[in-house]
Chain A
Amino acid sequence: MSEIIEKIIAISGKNPYLCYQCGMCSAACPMAEYMDLLPHQVIRLVQLGRKDIDRIESVWMCVSCMACVDKCPRHVDPGIIFEAIRLLTLRKGVDKADYWKLTDLEEAPSMALVALSRKMTG
């Protein structure tokens, strides 16, 4: 098993190899249409041990709504594996949020900023 997969499993506590590619996660995902790869495709690449898995943009669209986690029949829980993939980047000290480019900062509820910071900064 590649080091990157080992890390993903250690961070998420989930087993990507249980996935049988049913696509339920991608059907349930409210952000799927804005993703470069659909959730089930991301899990497939994890299974294949792709070393460039941390370059997938889909994980930054995910808002952790838990729709895929509730529906996954194999308890692979893509949304939780997505967090592990985000952390591969964030734990290197690289932030994905660019605070200078955010819009609506004054008007939007502060929970939006806290939530975004939780998911897109280390």
Chain B
Amino acid sequence: MILMKLLYYPGCTVKRNALEYEKASIAVLEKLGIDVIELDKWYCCGALYSLAIDDLIKHLGAVRTLVKAQVQSRNVGTNDLLTICPMCFNVLKRVNKLLLENPDNLETISRFMDEEEEYKVGVNVYHIVEILANNVDKIKENMVRELNGVKIAAYYGCTLLRPKEIAVDDPEDPHIIENLIEELGGEIVNYPFKSECCGSYQVLVNRDIVYNRSSLVINEASRRGADIIVTVCPLCYYNLKITLKNMKRPPTVRIVYISELLAYLLGLDTVLSSETKSLFESVFSHTGKSM
């Protein structure tokens, strides 16, 4: 699969709390020759897929976004829709699957939407890790820095992997990020909590739950020697960061988005914040010396 053009659905968080993730992600994809075209108009996906089978209205935001993607796909010439937030990915992909498997549900939902054209269920929803994994050769060609010696733990969280029907990889033994990093010459830290929940939105209700859940991930990755934990989700990123900050004796492991790591390897320093760049410089120089 070689995708040269992608429609792009950002979602709320990417535009409010994860601008650095978006900036790095788009810069990396463009460096690889992939044209990223943001949807002219999009709606809230709802963040978590509605599980009630008798209440289709909660899927409406996602369906409207898929219709917008369908409309724009005709001008752009691709049906492939990129997401970088895994919750957006999860909701859009599950709604797409629901409509594909239940044409009667699509018909019911379509009756609410007399302004829009009918959805033909032809949009393919992707998460950026899938695109990156498929373009590993191009990443390799364009790398200006080596991963030599830096130990990396991948943290997937929940929504890229579950439910298994829409997963980007085997939910019991995910390795799509590890394979990518190994292909780029990196060293992987394997650990059992890479798809354990970080505590999710409970951060708004009870931070201690998040501290407990996320410290499990941080401590185990760190105990096995990780210099960096790469994440794909703004909420996981936030929860891991506040947990690290709250620890009495925090390990030296750093939390970064996968796109930030790749931007650094590709020499796209201008898209990284000065804080992130110095974080990488310190990790990379440290491991350089110890080798």
Contact = CB atoms under 8 A, between A and B. Distances in A.
Interface residues of B, number: 44
A22 interface: no
Contact of B207 (A12, A61, A79, A103): A103
Contact of A66 (B163, B205, B212): B163
Given A83-B51, A112-B204, A66 B13 contact: no
Interface string A64-75: 111101100000
B158 interface: yes
A115 B51 contact: no
Nearest to A118: B48
A112 B44 CA distance: 13
Contact of A69 (B159, B162, B197, B238): B162
B12 interface: yes
Contact of A109 (B16, B46, B49, B52): B16
Interface string B157-182: 01100111000000100000000000
Given A83-B51, A115-B47, A63 B197 contact: yes
Interface residues of A, number: 39
A114 B47 contact: yes
B52 A87 contact: yes
A1 interface: no
Interface in B204-218: 204-207, 209, 212-213
Interface string B199-236: 11111111101001100000000000000000000110
Interface in A8-29: 10-13
B255 to A, nearest CB: 14
A84 B51 CA distance: 8
Tell which of B18, B52, B158, B213 has the most Cβ of chain A within 10 Å.
Answer: B52
Interface in A55-114: 61, 63-67, 69-70, 79-80, 83-84, 87, 97, 101-105, 107-114
Nearest to B212: A33
Contacts of A45: none
B17 interface: yes
Contact of A115 (B17, B201, B209): B201
**6 smallest A-B Cβ distances: which pairs?**
A66-B162, A30-B197, A114-B47, A83-B51, A115-B47, A63-B200
12 contacts: A11-B52, A63-B48, A63-B202, A67-B162, A70-B162, A84-B51, A102-B205, A103-B204, A104-B207, A108-B203, A109-B13, A111-B12
